[in-house]
């Protein structure tokens, strides 16, 4: 993770416009010290980013592009409450330039479950994103949130740890009454829209993080919204893979003539931050493949790698949620031919997260601490 001063410098490149008062946003949704101020930042002449510290679960960055009297929103939040809050602080912009388009960079709920507030607008995403959007239902997460509160009181088979981990993950969010609204316009490859003379290039770079990842580039503003192929100061996760495609998407970011890179989570990115995520994937697949070749089970491999001296002395060890290596190992092992679910069903995903929670409790210094401390 960049130093606090480094993060402050990155955010200082942008002008903070609106958000919660400084004192109210001194802590993240998980009670960590906020590394930067939450709120809307001007990242170009007419481009904005809603930045949420420190980029952990659901702490999602959002984009807004003002186009001569109309606006384009890039992603929505994990629930209606946070989507409405984000919009309230954008009021000065959207009153003069109402939102007419929404672009979803991918299908994870924390980037599209606020879509229902834009039922009368044009919503755009890749075809693969649309196909994957209903794989997880808000009702299922709300039920898991409630069930996790019960499990945290059951010290059997590590259920209490799993229950604590999941209940804390979902604690800030309210999934009741949510309904998934799929994009009405789907594309493959690349789609260029021109809104009131402003060209916006949407490029499909998935599968990688999910099946249908896209990045959104505004050439006239030299701003790119990277979605969740890029995390800064936060351990990335690869649900779909392959890793080669994910890395290719990151390298694509480096080829763009962009002055500002807005990640899906974490502080504003530099090119060095993009390279650091590429380095993480290179390190991880090399270390895990060594374990795979000798027949080591993936959970043991993930644990051995994350607790190894080479990892613990690397920059990656200081990123939020290092236990996500379990999910990443699952995807890598699947592509290497291991007999694991492809992709895991609901019960398989629950077991994967249970294993991830178990590893989290072996990493007590990692953030967010609320998820690994009773």
Same domain, 150 and 249: no
* Cβ(182)–Cβ(133) below 8 Å: yes
Q: Burial code of 225-245, b = ≥16 C-beta within 10 A, e = fewer?
A: bbbbbbbbbbbbbbbbbbbeb
Same domain, 50 and 179: yes
Given a cut of 80, whether residue 374 has pLDDT beyond it is no
In the chain, the percentage of residues whose pLDDT exceeds 70 is 94
* Cβ(193)–Cβ(218) below 8 Å: no
Structure-token pair, residue 349: 């995903």
Given a cut of 70, whether residue 159 has pLDDT beyond it is yes
pLDDT class of 351 with cuts at 50, 70, 90: confident
Same domain, 26 and 118: yes
Given a cut of 80, whether residue 368 has pLDDT beyond it is yes
Structure-token pair, residue 253: 């970011």
Same domain, 36 and 151: no
| pLDDT the model gives residue 9 | 44
Q: What is the pLDDT of residues 224-245, one digit of tens each?
A: 999 999 999 999 999 999 999 9
Q: How many CB atoms are closer than 10 A to CB 308?
A: 13
Rounded CA-CA distance 298/29 in Å is 31
Same domain, 153 and 197: no
Q: What is the pLDDT of residues 15-39, one digit of tens each?
A: 999 999 988 889 999 999 999 999 9
Given a cut of 80, whether residue 285 has pLDDT beyond it is yes
Closest to 136 (Cα-Cα) out of 83, 173, 184, 175:
175
pLDDT class of 308 with cuts at 50, 70, 90: very high
Same domain, 307 and 222: yes
Same domain, 340 and 279: yes
Rounded CA-CA distance 57/306 in Å is 20
Given a cut of 90, whether residue 349 has pLDDT beyond it is no
Same domain, 211 and 360: yes
Same domain, 223 and 319: yes
Domain end, chosen from 129, 163, 197, is at 163
Same domain, 11 and 93: yes
Quote the domain boundaries for residue 144. 139-163
| pLDDT the model gives residue 5 | 46
Of residues 336 and 9, more confidence is placed in 336
Kind of pairing between the strands at 214-218 and 198-204: antiparallel
| pLDDT the model gives residue 153 | 74
CATH of the domain at 357: 3.60.15.10
Q: What is the mean pLDDT of residues 202-223?
A: 98
pLDDT class of 157 with cuts at 50, 70, 90: low
Same domain, 159 and 176: no
Given a cut of 50, whether residue 74 has pLDDT beyond it is yes
Q: How many CB atoms are closer than 10 A to CB 26?
A: 13
Q: In the chain, how many domains are there?
A: 2
Of residues 178 and 349, more confidence is placed in 178
Same domain, 54 and 195: yes
């Amino acid at each position: 993770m960049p130093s606090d001063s480094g993060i402050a410098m990155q955010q200082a490149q942008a002008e903070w416009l609106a958000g919660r008062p400084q004192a109210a946003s001194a802590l993240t949704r998980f009670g960590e010290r906020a590394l930067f101020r939450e709120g809307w930042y001007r990242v170009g002449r007419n481009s904005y980013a809603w930045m949420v510290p420190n980029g952990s679960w659901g702490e999602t960055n959002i984009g807004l592009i003002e186009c001569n009297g109309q606006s384009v929103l890039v992603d929505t939040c994990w629930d209606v409450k946070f989507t409405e809050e984000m919009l309230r602080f954008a009021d000065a912009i959207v009153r003069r330039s109402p939102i007419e388009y929404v672009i979803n960079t991918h299908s994870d709920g924390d980037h599209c479950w606020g879509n229902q507030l834009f039922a009368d607008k044009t919503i755009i995403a890749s075809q693969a994103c649309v196909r994957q959007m209903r794989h997880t239902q808000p009702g299922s997460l709300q039920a898991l949130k409630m069930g996790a509160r019960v499990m945290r009181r059951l010290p059997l088979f590590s259920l209490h740890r799993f229950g604590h981990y999941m209940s804390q993950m979902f604690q800030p969010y309210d999934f009741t009454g949510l309904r998934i609204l799929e994009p009405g316009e789907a594309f493959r490859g690349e789609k260029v829209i021109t809104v009131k003379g402003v060209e916006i290039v949407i490029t499909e770079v998935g599968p990688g993080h999910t099946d249908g990842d896209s990045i959104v580039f505004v050439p006239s503003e030299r701003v790119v919204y990277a979605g969740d192929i890029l995390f800064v100061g936060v351990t990335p996760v690869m649900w779909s893979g392959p890793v080669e495609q994910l890395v290719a998407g990151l390298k694509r970011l480096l080829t763009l003539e962009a002055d500002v890179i807005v990640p899906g989570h974490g502080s504003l990115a530099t090119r060095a931050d993009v390279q650091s995520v590429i380095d993480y994937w290179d390190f991880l697949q090399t270390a895990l493949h060594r374990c795979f070749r000798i027949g080591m089970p993936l959970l043991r491999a993930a644990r051995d790698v994350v607790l190894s001296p080479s990892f613990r002395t690397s920059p990656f060890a200081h990123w939020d949620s290092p236990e996500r290596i379990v999910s990443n190992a699952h995807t890598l092992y699947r592509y290497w031919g291991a007999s694991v679910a492809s992709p895991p069903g609901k019960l398989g995903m629950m077991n994967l997260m249970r294993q991830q929670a178990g590893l989290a409790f072996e990493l007590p210094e990692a953030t967010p601490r609320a998820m690994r401390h009773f």
